[in-house]
Amino acid sequence: MPQPPAIPLRRLEIELSRLAGFTDPKPELEQLTTPGPIAARMIQIALADVSGKEVYDLGCGTGILAIGAALCGAKRVVGVEADAAALDVARKNLEGFRPRLAIEFVHSRVEDFDGGRLDTVLQNPPYGAQKKHADRPFLEKAVELAGKSVYSLHLAETRMFIKEFVRALPGGWKDDVVGTFDYPLSRTFKFHSKPKVNISVDLHRITRKEVSLRP
């Protein structure tokens, strides 16, 4: 299926910002909608590893990164999500695009997903507010599935944890922080005490030193 060329950043922000978010976010899954401007900037930074490539969006939620990647010319996108209700929203979001984008949504826990390698992984995993290092299973699955690169958002305060995780990986990987964003966090769950706060998040680019696309 032919894919559209990459689109300008501002238009991408607008397209992603109009997508529906979670209808009933689950605190145990830390379901927070990725803001359109952050999703758009993340994909633009990753563009060389997205356009014309096959891409995973792990923990895809309502599909914002998957749809953004497809809008920016990804050859194929697979979104993986454990929550069926979130996938229903993602599929409805996808229906709004014509011609249809080359995205497949898979209902599975990230830890249980057994897919072959694709070129690139995009993800905005849980930040560990409910369970420390809840992002670790996402990182482990991402490096298993990525043929070349992983782009992953994490709390800036966990930067050293991510770097130590990557340093310990077998086979040769490196980690670069390629962006830092103020993530606007609106009151979503009962335990959020303030109407809105900004948290600092890093975009990590984790790359395989020896590229191999064999499954």
Domains, the chain, in order of start with CATH, read 9-208 (3.40.50.150)
Instruction: Provide the percentage of residues in the chain whose pLDDT is more than 70.
Output: 87
> Would the pTM count as exceeding 0.85?
yes
Question: Residue 193 pLDDT more than 70?
Answer: no
Enumerate residues 6+ apart whose C-beta is below 8 A from 41: 9, 179, 181
Question: Residue 19 pLDDT more than 80?
Answer: yes
Mean pLDDT value across residues 81-108: 95
Lowest mean pLDDT of 38-52, 173-187, 201-215, name the range: 201-215
What band does 23 get if pLDDT is binned at 50, 70 and 90? confident
The bridge status of strand 54-58 relative to strand 173-186 is unpaired
Question: What is the rounded average pLDDT for all residues in the chain?
Answer: 89
Mean pLDDT value across residues 119-145: 89
SS (H, E, C) 3-70: CCCCCCHHHHHHHHHCCCCCCCCCHHHCCCCCCHHHHHHHHHHCHHHCCCCEEEEECCCCCHHHHHHH
